[in-house]
Structure formats: C-alpha cells, structure tokens
A and B are shown apart, each in its own frame.
Chain A
Amino acid sequence: MANVVFDNVSKNYDDLRAIDRMSFEIYDMEFFVILGQSGAGKTTTLKMVAGIEPASEGTILIGGNPINHLTPEKRNVAMVFESYALYPHLSVYDNIAFPFHAPENRKSNEDIEHSVKHIACMLGIDQLLGRKPSELSGGQRQRVALGRALVRRPSVFLMDEPLSHLDAKLRNQMRKELKSMRKSFGTTILYVTHDYNEAMALGDRIAILHKGKIQQIDTPDDIYYHPGNIVIAQSLGDPPMNFLSGELSFLEERFSLRTKNLFIPLDFVRRQDLKSHIGKSVTLGIRPNHIQINTDKSVNSFQIPATVFVQEYLGDDSIISVKIEDAMFMILSTPEKRYAIDENVFLSLNQEHTHLFLSETGESLQIDSGKSI
C-alpha cells in the first residue's frame, strides 16, 4: 500500500503563499498528474513529497504514515528531474546502480547486477549498459534517468516535467512509451507537467493547480468535458476553448445570452435555480471542435453570425478564426473547405458541449456544486 495523502498542506515562502491548503489522495498504483502553468506550485508540491522542501502546514502521508519529519532518503520515493542529471563520467550501468551506494540501500554485487539488468530490460536499454551518457540519444538518456529512479523500487515515483527537454517528435514518442510501460513500474506515480497533452494522455486522474490552489481533480475526460470553472476550461485543448461574455436573460421560459447585438438561446441550460443569476454577467464557453461553421444561413435553427478573421490550413485539419462582435472564436474543421477573409459565416454550437460560467468568479453554472472543488 503506497497511497499518498495531502491533508490540508500549505507552503509559504516568506510572505508568499505558494500552496494553499491542499487536500487530496493519490491512490495506490495510480498515475496522478498535476497540470498547471509555471509558477502554479507544481514543483513545490513534488518537492514536499520528496522531502526537499518542508511543508509549512499540514501533513503528508505515504501509505498511511505521516512523512513530514522524515529525511528524503527515508521516504522511499524516487524523483526524475526535468534535466536528466545523469553522471557523465559513469557508464549507464553505474548510473542506474548509483542509488545502491547510499548506506540505506546497500546490497550484494549480485543483487545489484540482477536489479540493474531487470530494470534495463524493462526499459529496453539492456544493450546500452556499457555506454557513457554522452553516447546516448535524448530518449535513451531519459530512459536511463527513469531506470536510476526505479531501481530502488520506490513506493512513490515523482516526475518533474521529464519530457519537457525533448524535441516535439521525441516527446510524443516517449509519452507513448511511458504510458505503455507504466504498469510494469509497479509504483504510485505523481507526475507534474504544464502540457495538457501529457496530462490527458498519461493521467488516470488529473489535478488542475492554479496559483497554489487545486481547482479540480478528475479523470481526463471529466475535466475536458465538465470543467468546474474558466481556469480549468482554459487549461485543456488546442486551440483553447472559446469564450463569449454577455448577460444572462430569461424570456419566454428560455435562458439566453445577451451580448451587444445578439440574443443567443441557451437551450442546454435547464437548471431552474439559475434564475437567481438572471441579469448577471455570464460567459459562454465552447471548444473549437464543437462548433459547426456554415456559409448559408439556416432557417430552422439558431446560428451566430460571424466574420472570418483568418483561416489556417494544417493538413490533417484546419483552424478558422472568426470574430463574433469583438470576441475571437477558433473553430476546428476539416481541411477541405476554404473561407475568404471577412467572409460572413454562421456558427451553430453543439448545445450538448456548451458551457456557461459566471463571469465574476469564473465558476461553472452547470456542474453541481458538489463536483467542483
């Protein structure tokens, strides 16, 4: 059992509050991802688990035991850093075997050899054990760094943006390898990243961290389709979610969004308790792949008139940027259709995937308050 529990954990740097009352549980053997921008407090969180930074308040428990007072080497956690931090003068074998030099981990030579070979086979670097780090490619070095962390059989494996130093192609490739290997690691994994692709691809669950506060913890799909507030909605998706602000109005038993010149029906809003928000400023959010773009006005359903700002052809697909009044909307579409600059188009929103947020606080008006944190 090696679950990790954060019980009301905070971290202060002088008068700056880096982490604010963080409470959650990472289950045993879970791949848990913390997603946030730089400065959100991701790395601080990792360092508190690793024991490099002490928590200012609250308790961290691994496998049910409080670890605040333990030194890093006694916590049985391993960490992979953003830069691989391999020892350049040691061979791959010696790099992986390095943790056994610590008095806590001392083993017989046969045992060390067995462990190193086992890990190397698992990571597919058993042919490279005699080489020096300088003779390896970026992906191979990454695997050696993983191997060095895993060889001690840690109960919790911490990863701090381990793919961010790789170029885009290798990063995408390593991400898939990490995902396909991760069951064989046999540890609980806490992974920190600013890349939503990594978070969605790898995480069993994702925690969105913003300015030291956990915003939402959920499965990737739940976070993508049911974001609890605007910050969460913005943190996933490429191109990011589109937003349009206006006033929530209620006419003829229908909710609608009133902007400068538009009256957009919000048929997806059914909750009657939203009536208390009528007249308030709200923000409609919709992802670029949930908008349909038409060149002709339809008579049957409501469409939002817009003008094409610019179109980007991307081969596999195409992004059309349009302006609705002053707001820029991006629409993900098939590459075949071409639109001219300043062409008038009509957008129909997929009502099922349209979100509504309260502008003032950013919180979602659709999710039951129990769900968002």
Chain B
Amino acid sequence: MAEVTLENVKKIYGRNPEVLAVKDVSLHIQDREFFVFLGPSGCGKTTTLRMIAGLEEISGGTIYFDKKTVNDLTPQKRNVSMAFENYALYPTLSVWENIAFPLKIRKWNNDTIRKKMEWVAGALQIGDILHKKPFELSGGQQQRVSLARAIVREAEVFLFDEPLSHLDMKQRQLMRAEIKRINKDLQNTMIYVTHDQKEAMALADRIAVMNDGKLQQVGTPFEIYENPVNEFVAGFIGEPPMNFLNCQILRLNDFFELILKKQVIAKIHQSRLPNQELFPQFVRVGIRPKRIQITNSENKKDALQAAVIVYESIGEKGILKVQLLGEPIYLITEPNQKFSKGENIHLSFPIQYLFFFNPETGERINLK
C-alpha cells in the first residue's frame, strides 16, 4: 500500500538526448487505486511502468513511493511485484514453486503460503495445474500463473504489464472481473499497462492515456469517455471509435451552422459558444457511433441522407457503416436489423453529443 508520484519523469534511449521514449510525465497515483496506463504500442507506457518497477533507469525526474524517492532503489528494495506480458516464469520450477518462490524468499511460514496458494489458485483457476512445469502449459495458463505469482505477494505496489493479452476472450472477461475484485478486496495500489481500451475502461479507477511518450489525459473512465481533452483520446476510446468530420462553421442569425460539403449537419445557438471570436472557422466534429440517430421520416428537415455500405449483426449489437457525403461513418445499432447494401437511410446528429476539436492542434473546444 503506497502512493506513487511521478515528477517530470523522462526516459532517453541511446545517445541522443532529443529522442525521448517518455517525455516529462508527472502524475500522482493514490493509495489503493487501480491505475491504468493506456496507449498504442510504442507510446511509452511500458517504459514508464518499468521505471516504476526499477527495471529501467530513470533518465530524468523523480519517482516517489509515498514521500520516499525510489530512483536509485532496486526492484526488491522498492517492494513491488510484477506480472509480465511474456510470463517470465522460472522454467525449472513447477507452477506451485513459481508462485511460492517470492514468498519463500520472504521467509513466510508454510501454513501461510498454503493458505495464500489456495486462495490464488481458486481466484485465477489454476488449481489443476499447480504441479505442472511451465513448458507443459498453454500461453493462457502461463499468463495466469504469472499473474498469480504477482498477486500472492504483499507488495507495496502491484505492477501489471499486459497480463491478459494471451488469454482467450472468455478467460479474459473472467480474469478482468477477478483482478478488479482483488484490487477492491486487498486494497493494494495496482498499476496496469494495456493497449486495449476496453480493458482499461473496465478495470481502472483512473486511466492515463499516453501517446508518443506524452501524457494526454488522466481521468476516470467516465471522464475519458465523456470528456476527452483532445482528438487522440476521443478517437482511441470506443469500438468502433468516434467518427470525425471536417466541418466549416458559418453564422446564420443567432445560430452557427456546421457545414459538411455544403450541407448543414447541425446548428448551435450562439449562446452556447464560449468565445465566438476564438471559435475557428473550421472544426473537427466528433460523434460516437452509439449517438447517431437513424430517423424514419424522410421529410424531417435536419435529416441527412446516407448510403449503407455494410451492416454487421454480431450478437449483442449491430454495426452499420454508411457513406455520408463521401465520408465513412460508423453507427452502433440494435442487432438483427435489416439493412441492404446501397440502401439510403437518414441520420441526425444530436447537438448534445457532438464534440469539437481544433483541426490544427487536436485540442477539444468546449461548448457551454
């Protein structure tokens, strides 16, 4: 149990100090928090985790556990435990020995070890493979053992590097729920790295979205989804991701019209604009696939005509791809609808669900 604070943390690889794998990351992870670093591959999230673990040298800045600087401490001294993406199991030890090893080093007595093993074997469903050697296990099983070895220890901070990446869908779903529950029960600080936005949303108390070595946004899953600070964050969350359209803005009386290829797609009353002068002439308009409405009446004035490209009905939901004025747009619908290729449908974009981004910087422009 510990708070973790990063202050202007940097990572330089190689000799060129201009090439930063991690650029001035500052953030504060609270005690008992489930904190997730999310981003595409190469964004610096794993490097950041490894610097917290003490496996990677910190090129600049400071990392604190509670109030204590840990920059120069070994992983062992930091008292962290870690689950690795590629399992990192000890090849000659059985599953049981692998998991019990960190406990034996810490001189736990056998009864406590046995109790802890029973608990973890049940939670991660590895009870039937405890006597096996790592090479006898499937990738998914090895990953669960690696996870078990990390969580049996009573470490200050638990670190997870993509620990569910090799599981099949069903196992991943179950393990996700188990890990989240274990965090709530054990009340340990957990720091987790993933590229899977769904996993991040499901697990995290707070998410740090990273891209290109830079921290983009830190917030609860709700904040990240409902209130993204820039186009990158908005586009990274959700499947299918948010739709973006390049629109021109023209003033008509009290309204500002969003125009896509000479057609008005929505109107905003001027009172909602924070600063009319600063509002650029062109904006990127974003809307989530779930929020686009399909309207029945063709006469409706604001409705936009779009042509169906493809419709997929996948059990729980339907995904519709349409062409709107030459732009591909994705919609989430109910499953089992009937759409045929080339069919014309009518869409409307509810103003309350639109996001606006500066086309040059990608920064979010907020309405009142």
Binding site for B on A (CB under 8 A): 37, 168-169, 172, 175-176, 179-180, 196-197, 200-201, 220-221, 224, 234, 236-240, 287-289, 309-310, 312-316, 319, 321, 328, 330, 332, 341
Contact = CB atoms under 8 A, between A and B. Distances in A.
A315 B225 contact: yes
B250 interface: no
B309 to A, nearest CB: 5
B202 A314 contact: yes
B313 A220 contact: yes
A201 B313 CA distance: 6
B184 A221 contact: no
B233 to A, nearest CB: 12
Contacts of B174: 328
B195 to A, nearest CB: 8
13 contacts: A168-B239, A175-B312, A180-B309, A180-B341, A200-B314, A221-B336, A237-B316, A240-B169, A287-B316, A315-B225, A319-B173, A328-B174, A330-B173
Contacts of B316: 237-238, 287-289, 332
Interface residues of B, number: 38
B221 A315 contact: yes
A239 B316 CA distance: 9
A200 B313 contact: yes
A-side interface mostly: mixed
Contacts of A319: 173, 177, 202
Contacts of A309: 177, 181
Contact of A313 (B202, B288, B314, B319): B202
A336 B151 CA distance: 31
A234 B168 CA distance: 12
B177 A321 contact: yes
Contacts of B315: 196, 200, 224, 236-238, 287, 289
A312 B196 contact: no
A239 B172 CA distance: 10
A199 B288 CA distance: 25
Contact of B314 (A197, A288, A316): A197
A172 B170 CA distance: 19
Residue picked from B170, B177, B336, most chain A C-beta under 10 Å: B177
A312 B312 contact: no
B313 A221 contact: yes
Interface string B162-180: 0000001110011011001
B336 A310 contact: no
Given A180-B321, A200-B314, A237-B315, 14 more contacts: A168-B239, A176-B309, A179-B310, A196-B169, A196-B315, A200-B312, A238-B173, A238-B315, A288-B316, A309-B181, A314-B202, A315-B201, A315-B226, A330-B177
A366 B321 CA distance: 35
